[in-house]
Chain A
Amino acid sequence: MVAVRVEEVLAAAEEQEAEKRRSVVVEKELELEFDLGNLLALDRNPPPAAQLRGVGPQREAQLLALARDNTQLLVAQLWELPAERAGGAGGPLVARLPEPTFRLPREKPPPRPKPPTRWEQFARLKGIRRRKRTSLVWDEQAKEWRRRWGYRRAGGDPARAWLAEVPAGADPEEDQFARLRREKRERVARNELNRLRNLARAHRAGAAVPAVPLHPTGHQSKEELSHVARVARVSTASLGRFQPRLPKEPAEPPSRSGGRKRRFEPLLGNLAAERSRQLELLKDMGSKKPVLDITRAVNKQLRQEEAEAAAAKGKKQSQRGKRGRRQ
């Protein structure tokens, strides 16, 4: 009984060893296509007919064998890549993968287009097309080309609009300048309201509408642009961790609260470091004091003059005293 057992054990061990040594070499009819940048191996060989039918442990075993063979081929390809030791002589062997060629499909569905705004619908109905405007306008009074809007724009000089005529049917007591200002304010407010309404409509329709537009609009401020740059940097597969900085971009430590919360030094932090920082601050503050103190110089001058005046008075008195005595 024991001998049989031992024989069985030995046979099993032998079989395992044979299997291990079995296929480093895999035979395939068609060569596989490899995209090592994505660690991808494409097998175009038609599977044997038996595999296509039904589920069962046999099928599982066949699929497993297929996967094992293909993985063996992929790994064999990986071993042929140029490799180097990372982190010095004793580090792990690292292969340098080539650029991926296979285009991966979208993870999320594509964004839906924005619904047209009221003006866009009207323009489409009437056939109105957008005319490109020139950026410079001829200013008749200044006799030169001026911007359409902005610094020193054509016709925007407030000193020019010194007269505001009372229109035909208006109240003569009304302040025309105030009316113009009010109307401008109302126009701006209406414009803003319509812009927000369009945004809300697009949002409700399910279009991908970011709060700050991510494409260049030409009207973005420095803060908006830096926000957009930050979003662009973080929109990679590793969330911007391995993204190199632009030449003049400052290195930003990642703030966990996203710039909302103030953070203070720990209460019982390194007291020696705190002390040295304060001494540095004191030195810095002390070095900024002006070398020549005006008031001190003035006081010194005054004292000098007083001393001279006192000395002169004393001399005069002694002289007068001598004269008196002589008489």
Chain B
Amino acid sequence: MRPLTEAETRTVFEKLGRYIGENIQLLVDRPDGTYCFRLHRDRVYYLSEKLLKVAASVPRESLTALGTCFGKFTKTQKFRLSVTALDFLAPYAKFKVWVKPGSEQSFLYGNHVLKSGLGRITENTAQYQGVVVYSMADIPLGFGVAAKSTQECRKVDPMAIVVFHQADVGEYVRNEDTLM
């Protein structure tokens, strides 16, 4: 377990910034305590200082996970955000997509969101912008990347993909073994 280096921090912040923009500083600088990022076995964890002090006394081989896992670094040092970060992305998301009740299940199974399943989308969403996907009842379901900008979403045919799937809460059941 170690703190992130400068380059790694930059990679992680860039990835997070695609979804929550400048609200990252609300994650870094919190009024209710000191929270930090730590790297353990290529996974990035977000945890409070109190928890960090306790976790520091666990031997490295026995430590499985600590705090919230935000994602992991792949072999070529690219950062992949995982669904376990959703709790921290959802409240600070800048661009949101609401999915109709009919195609919620399709998204939760890992499919992309089609135009026919699109309920609402934030105005001014650019193409390939990171978005957080909600159900119509404002429950965060996961996150993805907007395949079309808001303007284009209005014009495309119903079978076109509007949001590429990246992570959804169904992964807790589907990828139970590999999530942590």
- Which A residues fall within an 8 A CB radius of B? 264-269, 271-272, 274-275, 278-279, 281-282, 285-286, 293, 295-296, 299, 302-303
B158 to chain A, nearest CB (A): 20
Scan residues 52-66 of chain B and give those whose CB is less than 8 A from a CB of chain A.
52-53, 56
B17-25, B86-94, B168-176 - the one binding chain A? B17-25
B129 to chain A, nearest CB (A): 9
B151 near A302 with CB under 8 A, answer yes
- A282 contacts which of B6, B24, B38 (Cβ < 8 Å)? B24
B36 near A275 with CB under 8 A, answer yes
B3 near A275 with CB under 8 A, answer no
A299→B153 CA distance, assembly (Å): 12
A282 near B127 with CB under 8 A, answer no
A279 near B56 with CB under 8 A, answer no
Q: Which 4 A-B pairs have the closest CB atoms?
A: A265-B3, A264-B2, A295-B126, A278-B28
A187→B52 CA distance, assembly (Å): 61
A296→B125 CA distance, assembly (Å): 9
Please judge, given known A-B contacts A267-B3, A268-B53, A275-B29, whether A285 and B14 are in contact too, CB under 8 Å. Answer: yes
Tally of contact residues, B, Cβ under 8 A: 28
A268→B3 CA distance, assembly (Å): 9
A264→B2 CA distance, assembly (Å): 7
Please judge, given known A-B contacts A268-B53, A296-B126, A299-B150, whether A279 and B29 are in contact too, CB under 8 Å. Answer: yes
A282 near B49 with CB under 8 A, answer no
A281 near B9 with CB under 8 A, answer yes
Is B73 an interface position by the 8 A CB rule?
Answer: no
A59→B105 CA distance, assembly (Å): 106
A277 to chain B, nearest CB (A): 8
Question: Which B residue sits closest to A285, measured CB to CB?
Answer: B13
A267→B53 CA distance, assembly (Å): 9
A271 near B34 with CB under 8 A, answer yes
A265 near B2 with CB under 8 A, answer yes
B150: chain A residues within 8 A (beta carbon): 299
Scan residues 36-74 of chain B and give those whose CB is less than 8 A from a CB of chain A.
36, 38, 49, 52-53, 56
Please judge, given known A-B contacts A285-B17, A295-B127, A296-B124, whether A303 and B151 are in contact too, CB under 8 Å. Answer: yes
B102 to chain A, nearest CB (A): 28
B114 to chain A, nearest CB (A): 22
Most buried by B among A265, A281, A299: A299
Is B5 an interface position by the 8 A CB rule?
Answer: yes
B13: chain A residues within 8 A (beta carbon): 278, 281-282, 285
Please judge, given known A-B contacts A281-B13, A285-B14, A296-B124, whether A267 and B2 are in contact too, CB under 8 Å. Answer: yes
Scan residues 130-165 of chain B and give those whose CB is less than 8 A from a CB of chain A.
149-151
A275 near B34 with CB under 8 A, answer yes
Is B1 an interface position by the 8 A CB rule?
Answer: yes
A107→B1 CA distance, assembly (Å): 48
A200 to chain B, nearest CB (A): 39
A303: chain B residues within 8 A (beta carbon): 151
- A-B CB contact pairs (8 Å), 20 listed: A265-B2, A267-B56, A268-B52, A268-B56, A271-B34, A274-B36, A275-B28, A275-B36, A278-B13, A278-B28, A279-B29, A281-B6, A281-B10, A281-B13, A285-B13, A293-B126, A295-B126, A296-B124, A296-B126, A299-B150
